[in-house]
Each structure stands twice: as C-alpha cells, then as structure tokens.
Structure 1
Amino acid sequence: MTQGGEKYSALCLLAYVLIQAVSSCILLPVAGLAGGALAVLLSSICYNILLAVVCYRTTGVSSPFFRLRRR
C-alpha cells in the first residue's frame, strides 16, 4: 500500500531536476567541472530541504534539521 505522498515526492523530484538543469547550465560554462560539482551540491541541498518540509507538513514527522534550537 502507498501512503498517498507520491504526488509530493514526484513534484520534489521534478523541482530537483529543474534546479539541477538550470544551475548546471549557469555554472558549467563559468567554472567547468567545479561548477558542475557545485550545481549538484546546491540542487541536492535544495532537494533535501524541500523533502524535509514536505514530510513535516504532510505527516508531522520532524527532521533533525528543524530541531536545531536557537539559544
């Protein structure tokens, strides 16, 4: 059985692919291989944060990323 969150997961993956494509098109000509690596890093960070937010809003499960407290 599925949990009903496949639509959100697919949208997050689509956003990841779009961010990856745009950042690669911008950074590869400017910085070459290092720009490609930076594009992958940035898109992966955005993807993981987006998934953590969607997971929290749909299921209420909090990521350790959001448990950081300000003192």
Structure 2
Amino acid sequence: MGQIRDLETQWTDESIERITTENASLKQRVRQLAQDKRTLEERLQAARSNTRFQDRRISQLEAQLRDAGQKP
C-alpha cells in the first residue's frame, strides 16, 4: 500500500486476484469506518444534549436554592 505500481507491467492472474481482494477489503474497511463515524457522531450529539439538559437543571436548582435562602 502507498506504493505506485508500474502500470506497464503484465498483470498475472494471481496479481489481479490479490489486488481485487485488497480493493474489496479496503472498500469494506471504508464502509465500516463510515458506520463507526456515524455512530460516534450520534453519541456525541446525545452527550451534548444531555449536557445541555444538565446545565438547565443545575441552573434551576441554583435558582431554587437562592430563592429558598431569600425567604424570611
């Protein structure tokens, strides 16, 4: 991988089969990485949503504590 192959050489059946197999394997890896990326993006979105919810809840609790402390 990462090497430029001489395009003017004669390809043997074995070479063609190896390259075809390698190509299929790389395509499968790309599909798997794309799926992993989507999963991680969904998890990140959920974590951000949870954080926003928790921030709002903390603000509400702080306001309740402040209001409870001001009552005579």
TM-score (norm 1): 0.40
Larger Rg: 1 or 2?
2
Q: Relative contact order, CA 8 A, sep 6+: which one is greater?
A: 1
